[in-house]
């Protein structure tokens, strides 16, 4: 469903022409590596923010090695797809894209598949799409320089599929897409075992980055002019500092908020089980930590949550919501829901609807259950028929639409600080995000607001967004 919140769960990546070169390493690093002129590459990304940021790191790694990024597969010597397999549709999209480029190998182009589909399908991809030369999962990205060298040397079937690692993907340079808002991965992989989810199979075990490396990267980002950072992880709040410092997640947020030049610190996705009161305390203590929590619930029925192996009940989830709502700052809460999990009865589904009524989420990303390879749920009986899954999804989305529209109406008259990151086609029209991650469109007579933080009063709303005007506070 469309949303006034900006958490893209499954989208195609941005076209290359909209990207902004923003290395996180000093330019000398780039020069040191780029004394060898190499080829051109095109990189397309499918999937979540983690994938988008992985692609930014892969692009940085290639640029630092002397490759040039181009805007189309036609212009590229090396074509890379960073893929998503969270639902079947996402994986199919990858294969249909690959099919479009079946003839390119004959033209001397090299094609590589990265990410979750690569990890999941492994060497089978070579039989299904023999025009592919490289298959590499995210847990093996640190080996990419060596793997790419083998591809360039003419090897036909190069793989990086080792998933059992305790290492994280560190790059000297990251080629970020947005000049103001930077993603920063703090924890990779996942150690939870939700019955429906491929992530533990495709991204490997949970491994956190050293807190000092994270903070050093953040200082560097601030030096390059970034003012907003988004910490990323499949379960970002399960962060466990591997260094002797043993910094807690909440302390990391606080330290990040104190980096000079950083005005906003976000984090996603939080797992309900690991969402502890100290996180709320630091959000209250420092307004640079954004007042938005994305806390996927998946189902409102404790019975289904148990079958999903989510490790919390409906009541425990509601306790976490009460804790967030008890904060001094009004904090926006968004969630993910899966409908039609095997064995979900009409009564279970009603509990999910009643949870929406009880919590009144500010945004809901809802999905029909999709059976995935290797998962426990894929072997479960009592599959819910496709039409029923679609029917439930429609009901849920309609219920949330009504809730959201009431919430948006209630926000008319509020004043938000908006970090402007886009200009509309309409004259004097801009859009950006509030600290609570609402998308706000605003009018202003100022000549250029891009990258700026401005105050805006909400004057109206549409079904999904807030409309406002810039106000000047002396
Ligand atoms: N780590 C996050 C968490 O614990 O909730 C979720 C990460 S996953 C990339 C994003 C969302 O995709 C999940 O929250 C879930 O709602 C949805 N999802 C995952 N597997 C799915 C499946 N097999 N079918 C439908 N939706 C799924
Ligand atoms: Fe998947 Fe569960 Fe891990 Fe989230 S916590 S990535 S849903 S296994």
CA distance 463 to 474: 33
Beta strand residue intervals within 65-224, DSSP E = 68-69, 78-83, 110-115, 134-136, 158-160, 181-185, 187-188, 207-208
Beta strand pairing status for 181-185 and 158-160? unpaired
Ligand 2 centroid from CA 197, angstroms: 6
pLDDT at 204: 94
Tell me how far CA of residue 435 lies from CA of 57, 267, 413, in angstroms: 26, 12, 17
Query: pLDDT of 264-307, one tens digit each?
Result: 999 999 999 999 999 999 999 999 999 999 999 999 999 999 99
Compute the CA torsion angle 179, 181, 182, 183 (nearest 10 deg). -140
CA distance 207 to 188: 5
Atom of ligand 2 minimally distant from the CA of 193 = 8
CA distance 307 to 196: 10
What confidence category does residue 90 fall into, taking pLDDT thresholds of 50, 70 and 90? confident
Atom of ligand 1 minimally distant from the CA of 50 = 9
What DSSP line would sit under 183-214, residue for residue?
EEE-EES-----TT--HHHHH-S-EEPPHHHH
Average pLDDT, stretch 112-117? 96
Among positive and negative, which fits the CA dihedral 268, 274, 275, 279?
negative
pLDDT at 171: 85
| Mean confidence (pLDDT) of the chain | 90
Query: pLDDT of 152-172, one tens digit each?
Result: 999 999 999 998 888 898 888
CA distance 360 to 346: 21
Q: Indicate the top mutation candidate among 120, 206, 235 to test ligand 2's pocket, ranked by most ligand atoms within 8 A of CB.
A: 235
User: Among 35-44, 86-95, 142-151, 194-203, which is the least confidently predicted range?
Assistant: 35-44
pLDDT at 38: 66
Ligand 1 centroid from CA 396, angstroms: 17
What confidence category does residue 472 fall into, taking pLDDT thresholds of 50, 70 and 90? confident
The 332-339 sheet, strands edge to edge: 292-294, 332-339, 363-368
Token reading at 94:
């990858």
pLDDT at 427 over 80: yes
Whether residue 90 is preceded by a cis peptide bond, meaning omega within 30 degrees of 0, is no
Closest CA to 368 of 347, 383, 351, 350: 383
Beta strand residue intervals within 233-384, DSSP E = 264-268, 292-294, 332-339, 363-368
Atom of ligand 2 minimally distant from the CA of 191 = 3
Tell me how far CA of residue 416 lies from CA of 43, 131, 313, 411, 435, in angstroms: 36, 51, 35, 10, 8
Pocket of ligand 1 (CB under 6 A): 9, 48, 86-87, 196-197, 199, 234-235, 269, 271, 296, 298, 336, 338, 367, 369-370, 372
Stretch (H or E) spanning 263: none
Atom of ligand 1 minimally distant from the CA of 198 = 20
Closest CA to 62 of 12, 112, 120, 123: 112
CA distance 224 to 25: 9
């Amino acid at each position: 469903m469309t949303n006034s919140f900006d958490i893209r769960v499954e989208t195609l990546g941005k076209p290359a022409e909209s990207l902004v070169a923003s290395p996180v390493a000093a330019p000398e690093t780039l020069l040191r590596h780029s004394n060898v002129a190499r080829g051109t590459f095109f990189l397309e990304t499918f999937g979540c923010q983690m994938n988008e940021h992985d692609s930014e790191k892969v692009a940085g790694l290639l640029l630092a090695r002397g490759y040039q990024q181009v805007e189309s597969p036609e212009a590229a010597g090396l074509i890379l797809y960073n893929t998503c397999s969270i639902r079947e549709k996402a994986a199919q999209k990858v294969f249909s894209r690959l099919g479009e480029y079946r003839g390119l190998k004959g033209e001397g182009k090299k094609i590589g598949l990265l990410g979750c589909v690569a990890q999941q399908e492994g060497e089978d991809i070579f039989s299904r799409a023999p025009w592919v030369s490289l298959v590499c999962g995210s847990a093996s990205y640190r080996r990419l320089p060596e793997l790419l060298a083998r591809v360039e040397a003419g090897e036909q079937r190069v793989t990086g599929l080792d998933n059992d690692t305790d290492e994280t993907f560190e790059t000297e340079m990251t080629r970020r897409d947005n000049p103001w808002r930077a993603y920063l991965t703090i924890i990779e992989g996942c150690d939870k075992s939700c019955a429906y989810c491929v992530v533990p199979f495709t991204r490997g075990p949970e491994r956190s980055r050293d807190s000092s490396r994270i903070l050093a990267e953040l200082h560097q980002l601030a030096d390059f002019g970034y003012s907003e950072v988004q910490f990323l992880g499949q379960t970002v709040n399960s962060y466990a500092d591997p260094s002797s410092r043993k910094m807690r997640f909440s302390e990391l947020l606080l330290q990040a908020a104190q980096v000079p030049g950083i005005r906003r610190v976000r984090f996603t996705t939080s797992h309900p089980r690991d969402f502890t009161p100290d996180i709320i305390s630091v959000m209250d203590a420092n307004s640079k930590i954004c007042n938005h929590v994305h806390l996927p619930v998946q189902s409102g029925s404790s019975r289904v949550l148990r079958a999903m192996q989510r490790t919390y009940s409906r009541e425990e989830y509601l306790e976490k919501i009460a804790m967030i709502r008890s904060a001094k700052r009004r904090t926006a809460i968004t969630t993910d829901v899966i409908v039609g999990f095997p064995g979900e009865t009409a009564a279970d589904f009603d509990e999910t609807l009643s949870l929406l009524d009880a919590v009144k989420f500010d945004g809901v990303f809802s999905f029909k259950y999709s059976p995935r390879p290797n998962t426990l749920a894929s072997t479960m009986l009592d599959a819910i028929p496709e039409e029923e899954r679609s029917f439930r999804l429609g009901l849920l989305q309609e219920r949330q639409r009504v809730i959201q529209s009431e919430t948006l109406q209630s926000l008319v008259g509020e004043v938000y600080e908006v970090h402007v990151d886009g200009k509309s086609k309409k004259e004097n029209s801009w859009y950006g995000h509030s600290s609570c991650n609402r998308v706000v469109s605003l009018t202003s007579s100022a000549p250029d607001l891009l990258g700026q933080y401005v105050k805006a009063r909400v004057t109206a709303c549409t079904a999904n967004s807030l409309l406002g005007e810039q106000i000047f506070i002396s």
